[in-house]
């Protein structure tokens, strides 16, 4: 098993889930191998470099202006591999101790009162996108997500397209979250992500912002082994 030194004291290795506290749960849901932070920055066209010819004069003060107010808008997303039992157990702990969530409850496993320490393995891989501002996805249909999103293991280079996409929207129609389902096996029964895989890309470009993150399966493991 390959472990990064960053996870040497990881709660999913050192403690049973029943012993995870608020800090442990937060670490799993925000700073663990199953979570990627994607940041995208767009600048107002007013502040883009001019394209009328390199006279040099138009550059005077540009960098100073950019550093103060370049019209940039930064959008942040968290991309979580939520079919992981570790993530589902952490979410169950959060639900039990820190309130309920209306999105993706079926994906995050048992509540702490179920008596089950380990949730059952899901039939599909599930990856979720969440963020404070999800407006880039407003109005995007499931068909577009299925066409413009995929997982890609580095060993094969194949594209694993979603078998389904769940879109959580507010009563006003605003996007609150996305949940992508991917098959674990091909039509011939072969694993879509082999047990020895070292790198898997998740790419989504249906909205105005492309999200591209890399997961490292060999670090996505708990005391029971590989956890996808």
164-188 residue pLDDT tens: 999 999 998 899 999 999 999 999 9
Q: Alpha-carbon dihedral of residues 218, 222, 224, 228, nearest 10 degrees?
A: -60
CB-CB neighbours of 157 under 10 Å: 8
Cα(165)–Cα(45) distance, rounded to whole angstroms? Answer: 33
Q: Determine the pLDDT at residue 205.
A: 94
Identify the pLDDT of residue 140: 93
**Order of strands, edge to edge, in the sheet holding 35-42?**
35-42, 73-81, 124-130, 175-183, 164-169
- Taking Cα atoms as reference points, which of 10, 35, 36, 4 lies closest to residue 23? 10
What residues does each domain of the chain span?
A: 14-39+73-226
Q: What is the CA radius of gyration of the chain?
A: 20
Query: What was the pLDDT predicted at 74?
Result: 82
Please report, in tens digits, the pLDDT of each residue of the chain (228 residues total): 445 567 778 999 888 888 899 999 999 999 999 999 998 776 555 544 445 545 454 444 434 344 445 556 788 999 999 999 999 999 988 887 744 443 333 343 333 333 346 788 899 999 999 999 999 999 899 999 999 999 999 998 899 999 999 999 999 889 999 999 999 999 999 999 999 999 999 999 998 889 999 999 999 998 888 999
- Res 212: pLDDT: 95
From 149, 175, 152, select the one nearest 163 (Cα to Cα). 149
What's residue 96's pLDDT?
Answer: 78
Quote the distance between the C-alpha of residue 227 and its chain's center.
Answer: 15
66 to each of 50, 117, 180, 199, 209, how far by Cα in Å?
Answer: 14, 52, 37, 36, 22
- Tokens 């194949």 belong to which residue? 158
What does the alpha-carbon distance between residue 89 and residue 12 come to, in Å, rounded to a whole number? 10
User: What is the structure's pLDDT at 43?
Assistant: 54
pLDDT attached to residue 17: 86
């Amino acid at each position: 098993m390959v472990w990064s030194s960053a996870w040497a004291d990881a709660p999913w290795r050192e403690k049973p889930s029943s012993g995870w506290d608020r800090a442990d749960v937060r670490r799993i849901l925000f700073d663990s191998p199953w979570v990627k932070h994607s940041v995208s920055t767009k600048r107002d066209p007013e502040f883009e470099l001019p394209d009328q010819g390199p006279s040099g004069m138009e550059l005077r003060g540009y960098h100073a202006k950019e550093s103060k107010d370049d019209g940039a808008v930064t959008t942040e997303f968290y991309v979580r591999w939520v079919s992981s039992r570790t993530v589902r157990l952490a979410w169950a702990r959060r639900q039990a101790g820190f309130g309920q969530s209306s999105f993706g409850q079926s994906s995050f496993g048992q509540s702490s009162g179920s008596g089950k320490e380990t949730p059952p393995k899901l039939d599909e891989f599930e990856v979720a996108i969440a963020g404070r501002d999800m407006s880039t996805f407003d109005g995007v249909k499931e068909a577009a997500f299925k066409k413009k999103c995929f997982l890609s293991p580095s060993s094969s280079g194949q594209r694993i397209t979603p078998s389904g996409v769940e879109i959580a929207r507010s009563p006003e129609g605003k996007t609150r979250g996305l949940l992508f389902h991917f098959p674990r096996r091909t039509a011939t029964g072969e694993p879509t992500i082999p047990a020895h895989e070292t790198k898997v890309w998740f790419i989504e470009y249906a909205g105005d912002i492309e999200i591209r993150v890399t997961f490292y399966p060999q670090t996505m493991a708990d005391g029971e082994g590989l956890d996808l």
